[in-house]
Structure 1
Amino acid sequence: MSTSRAVTSPACTARLEPRRRHQHGRWSSSSDLPRRTATATFLANKARERGRGCGAAPCSSSVRADTIGCLEAEPWGAAVALQVAPPATTAPAEQRVHEVVLKQTALAAAAPRTKARIEPMAGGLKTAAFDRCGEVCKEYAKTFYLATQLMTPERRRAIWAIYVWCRRTDELVDGPNASHISALALDRWESRLEDIFAGRPYDMLDAALSDTVANFPVDIQPFRDMIEGMRMDLRKSRYRTFDELYLYCYYVAGTVGLMSVPVMGISPDSRAATETVYKGALALGLANQLTNILRDVGEDARRGRIYLPQDELEMAGLSEADIFNGRVTDDWRSFMSGQITRARAFFRQAEEGATELNQESRWPVWASLLLYRQILDEIEANDFDNFTKRAYVPKTKKLMALPKAYLRSLMVPSSLTLSQRHYSSL
């Protein structure tokens, strides 16, 4: 299996250095945008092509990293509306994920906002367990490990514990013994997870997570869902619609955001709804995983896997043969442009949640967001050839992103700024 899951941290930090590899609301709402933009951008691109072919003036709004092309200047209507009608109801995957978000939000709301339910660390075994988690994190995710140093010791150790569990889970189907992993093995891993939450850890790394979930308002469901994502990878290599792919991305990456926010905490200055913060965390996990998928199209294809919505491929006039043969055509560029636009929309939504976290917890999140988003830029720089070229962010660009992420982490919550503007206008 090639597409590495975005085992991100705080709402989602960079995966353990990936080896390979919508929000609920009304059609007109901004939170609904990420799920729709790939199809919309493709249709807008086609409309521009038709316009150029008949001598009409091209659209004055070009597709940039922070726009959705013609859709910025033109309403969703005319020929586009005739081809894709807005869905009448929320997609099943969205609704299922939204229910998990609401459950985690309720748990967080019941806990103190300014301080996590921390118990004093006791015993040499616990100290050794957390130290070992830190060593694993430092070895496999150096940038993330560095960014966690600004967090309080309790939060930092807890995030390390979550990171290590996610890594161990991911390696069940992505590690050296992946060919021997069965559904039964995943069932046993889930049973072991139940024991962790019940206070019966099997080893010292389990003990670190057990201590974490006992002292922070972390729900077990996102952990279970990540294991379900591993099961999905054992039996599924195609995704008919984005709704199916959305659920997969939630399972293997969006879950990490829901695990992490209770540990990272929400700023006492935040005026945002708790649900908004969790949705932002979910969006960052989804964005990171979609970015992994777009980066690794060629590598996945060589393993017989296609992590792209088949109906959208068909709409673009593309087939599986085009992907397996690695054909970079105008249709492929147009299709990829839409997919990248969708991922960027999720990144923008993630920013809404990142600004609301505790200040000492924001740096890892912003580092992940800025670093992963650069991969999309590199795909474009490669002329959308993700068949034979791997979108690689040079080390210098990565280093430059860290101080930018740090400065972003110092900004006051955007909800506080909006609240102040509101009252000043009264």
Structure 2
Amino acid sequence: MLQLPEPSQIKKKLVSLTESYELCRQITAKFSKTFYLGTLLMPPEKRQAIWAIYVWCRRTDELVDGPQAQLTTVETLQLWEKHLKMIFSGHPFDNEDVALVDTLRRFPIEIEPFQEMIAGQQMDLYHSRYETFEELQLYCYRVAGTVGLMSSSVLGVNGDKYSVPWQENQNRYIPRDEAIALGIANQLTNILRDVGEDAQRGRIYLPLEDLEKFNYSQEDLLEGVIDERWCSLMRFEIERARQYYRDAERGIRFLCRDSRWPVWAALMLYKSILTVIEANKYDVFTKRAFVRIPRKILYLPVAWLRAQVL
């Protein structure tokens, strides 16, 4: 089995903390422009922490979905989990780890969601189809719902709700389920946007029971057939994703005030990809759905208003 060196044996010279956070910023800005725009609305300490978390998640995802994915095995993921435990023990191994180690010192983040994400990547090693939505939901939770849990400790929970004396000893409501719902909503959006790309790799993430429900075959999907069956299927899947967004929206008011605007913005921007898919007449085989910059800018004041009143 592959071995990582023990912390005392690490001799690699790593970048400074400032350089590590800048590296994480650059990676986030390059690979997730919509998400990055939302983080710019956060206070500096929170946005840096979110960048560090995002980069770890991206590196984890690339193990099974990146250029070298064909080389990834269960042993690779076991080694990656050992790498994770080193980070949580305060020992960075790579330049990107320096920022994450600092983030873990600043915010009370647990290791379990990170481990669940690795388990989700392991599912990708063995599954190229999902029979039911329940199976897909577990996958979405592991690879994306966990991101909501990781981020929750950084975003923080509103303390104003229990500011009066007789409420001081009451427990604050932690919007855990809503955070998971937002992650699942984002992942379902990714799946709908990337149907064509995934099909080229022989992957179908849409539940096979849903295809059967609309009399649309796997062969139809792999061939990129767009007809009324496909449009009906996509309308069904888009509504399911939107329901998860609605579930997530109910938790935003419980967040710290300085986190509400960026979360509303990120939610609205990502949710709008579904509207673009509709505008493209559900052609996710030859057209990639993305939100243009002018429309992104228009969403920001609406998100700010919602953060104030909802």
Structure 2 length-normalised TM: 0.85
Kept in 2, the 8 Å contact 1:280–1:352? The answer is yes
Q: Distance in 1 between matches of 2:121 and 2:262?
A: 25
How far residue 178 of structure 1 moved from its aligned partner, in angstroms, is 2.1
1:347 aligns with 2:238: no
Q: Which amino acid aligns with 1:388?
A: T
Partner of 1:266: 157
1:366 aligns with 2:278: no
1:373-399 superposed Cα distances (whole Å, 9 cap, x missing partner) = 111112222222323332232332222
How far residue 129 of structure 1 moved from its aligned partner, in angstroms, is 2.8
Question: Rg: which structure is higher?
Answer: 1
Q: Distance in 2 between matches of 1:150 and 1:381?
A: 28
Partner of 2:176: 278
How far residue 276 of structure 1 moved from its aligned partner, in angstroms, is 5.5
Kept in 2, the 8 Å contact 1:223–1:259? The answer is yes
Q: Distance in 2 between matches of 1:172 and 1:144?
A: 21
The unaligned stretches of length 5 or more in structure 1 are 1-123, 415-426
Superposed CA RMSD = 2.2
User: In structure 2, do the counterparts of structure 1 residues 364 and 144 end up closer, same or farther at CA, with 3 Å as the change threshold?
Assistant: farther
Q: Secondary structure at the match of 1:200?
A: coil
Q: Which amino acid aligns with 2:258?
A: E
Equivalent residues in 2 for 1:168-207 (5 A)? 168-207=59-98
1:115-160 superposed Cα distances (whole Å, 9 cap, x missing partner) = xxxxxxxxx9333333332333334344544433443333232222
User: In structure 2, do the counterparts of structure 1 residues 184 and 363 end up closer, same or farther at CA, with 3 Å as the change threshold?
Assistant: same
Q: Which amino acid aligns with 2:257?
A: Q
Partner of 1:297: 195
1:130 aligns with 2:21: yes
Q: Which structure shows the higher helix fraction?
A: 2
Q: Which amino acid aligns with 1:365?
A: V
Q: Which amino acid aligns with 2:229?
A: D
User: In structure 2, do the counterparts of structure 1 residues 158 and 404 end up closer, same or farther at CA, with 3 Å as the change threshold?
Assistant: same
Q: Distance in 1 between matches of 2:261 and 2:203?
A: 34
1:401 aligns with 2:299: yes
Q: Distance in 2 between matches of 1:143 and 1:389?
A: 18
Kept in 2, the 8 Å contact 1:382–1:389? The answer is yes
Partner of 1:154: 45
Aligned residues: 289
User: In structure 2, do the counterparts of structure 1 residues 125 and 230 end up closer, same or farther at CA, with 3 Å as the change threshold?
Assistant: same
Partner of 1:378: 276
How far residue 299 of structure 1 moved from its aligned partner, in angstroms, is 2.0
Kept in 2, the 8 Å contact 1:161–1:208? The answer is yes
Q: Distance in 2 between matches of 1:291 and 1:150?
A: 22
How far residue 219 of structure 1 moved from its aligned partner, in angstroms, is 1.1
Q: Distance in 2 between matches of 1:407 and 1:167?
A: 31
Kept in 1, the 8 Å contact 2:195–2:284? The answer is yes
Kept in 2, the 8 Å contact 1:148–1:361? The answer is no
Kept in 1, the 8 Å contact 2:137–2:184? The answer is yes
User: In structure 2, do the counterparts of structure 1 residues 204 and 297 end up closer, same or farther at CA, with 3 Å as the change threshold?
Assistant: closer
How far residue 274 of structure 1 moved from its aligned partner, in angstroms, is 5.5
Kept in 1, the 8 Å contact 2:159–2:172? The answer is no
Kept in 2, the 8 Å contact 1:148–1:156? The answer is yes
Partner of 1:222: 113
The unaligned stretches of length 5 or more in structure 2 are 1-14, 163-169
Kept in 1, the 8 Å contact 2:42–2:262? The answer is no
How far residue 410 of structure 1 moved from its aligned partner, in angstroms, is 3.0
Partner of 2:287: 389
